[in-house]
């Protein structure tokens, strides 16, 4: 079956993996009430004429469960890093101590936890849409090559693409469920 036509499932899988990777990055940026160095990954700093991740201008540490510190290497960058954190939308108020910026992570209240679960849901929906777009592309490739394959082959490849899509949608749902539990945990 499917001897004369070969759909590039590896490409579709790679693109769906990309959507999952993006989702993990977005989830890492959501605060859960615990300090984590990964929460600063999406924050970019204007450094030396270009946007740079915080971990490339200083050392990020988590010395205690509710504290993240950034030891900025270049003294002239401290204010830029502090400004980037303030404007990032993380809801954290940085405190300066020389070249060290301390980020105390406040306790999340119930209302804020519910807001964060909604944001996580939006991130997950974005990932689902990206995965469905990859599915659509795969189905279009099959339709374009319709002339070169039998009806059985066409059904086989459509089934393969749908199975791959279902697997990734289930991964998104599982990741969302895990993140929402983490956010709601007091």
Residue 129 belongs to a domain with what CATH number?
1.10.132.20
Q: List, in order, residues 6 or more apart from 30 with CB less than 8 Å away.
A: 39, 116, 119, 120, 123, 179, 183
Alpha carbon distance 8, 144 (integer Å): 14
How many structural domains are present in the chain? 2
- What are φ and ψ of residue 66, in 5° steps? -120, 30
State yes or no: pLDDT of 17 exceeds 90: yes
State yes or no: pLDDT of 9 exceeds 80: yes
* pLDDT given at position 91: 72
* pLDDT given at position 38: 78
Residues 21 and 45 placed together within one structural domain of the fold? no
* pLDDT given at position 3: 45
State yes or no: pLDDT of 130 exceeds 90: yes
Q: Per-residue pLDDT tens for 35-85?
A: 777 778 778 898 888 988 888 899 999 888 888 999 999 898 899 999 988
Alpha carbon distance 114, 118 (integer Å): 6
Q: What is the mean pLDDT of residues 143-154?
A: 84
Residues 15 and 48 placed together within one structural domain of the fold? no
* pLDDT given at position 2: 41
Residues 54 and 115 placed together within one structural domain of the fold? no
* pLDDT given at position 127: 95
Last residue of a domain, one of 62, 89, 104: 104
Q: How confident is the model at residue 118 (pLDDT cuts 50, 70, 90)?
A: confident
Residues 45 and 71 placed together within one structural domain of the fold? yes
Class of residue 135 by CB neighbours under 10 A (exposed 0-12, middle 13-18, buried 19+): buried
Helix, strand or coil for residue 52? strand
State yes or no: pLDDT of 89 exceeds 90: no
Among 2-6, 106-110, 136-140, 179-183, the range of highest mean pLDDT: 136-140
Alpha carbon distance 42, 140 (integer Å): 34
Percent share of the chain, pLDDT over 70: 95
* pLDDT given at position 5: 57
State yes or no: pLDDT of 33 exceeds 70: no
Mean residue pLDDT across the chain: 86
Q: How confident is the model at residue 1 (pLDDT cuts 50, 70, 90)?
A: very low
Predicted TM-score (pTM) of this structure: 0.67
Give residue 45's domain range: 35-104
Helix, strand or coil for residue 133? helix
């Amino acid at each position: 079956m499917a001897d004369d036509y070969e759909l590039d499932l590896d490409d579709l899988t790679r693109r769906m993996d990309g959507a999952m990777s993006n989702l993990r990055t977005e989830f890492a940026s959501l605060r859960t009430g615990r300090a984590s160095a990964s929460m600063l990954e999406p924050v970019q700093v204007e450094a030396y004429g270009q946007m740079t991740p915080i971990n490339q201008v200083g050392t990020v540490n988590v010395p205690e469960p509710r504290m993240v510190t950034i030891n900025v290497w270049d003294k002239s960058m401290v204010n830029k890093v502090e400004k980037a954190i303030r404007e990032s939308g993380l809801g954290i108020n940085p405190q300066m101590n020389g070249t060290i910026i301390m980020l105390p992570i406040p306790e999340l209240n119930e209302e804020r936890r519910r807001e964060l679960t909604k944001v996580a849901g939006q991130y997950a929906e974005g990932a689902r849409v990206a995965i469905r777009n990859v599915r659509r592309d795969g189905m279009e490739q099959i339709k374009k090559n319709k002339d070169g394959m039998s009806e059985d082959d066409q059904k086989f490849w459509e089934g393969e693409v749908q199975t791959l899509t279902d697997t990734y949608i289930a991964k998104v749902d599982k990741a969302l469920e895990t993140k929402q539990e983490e956010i709601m945990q007091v």
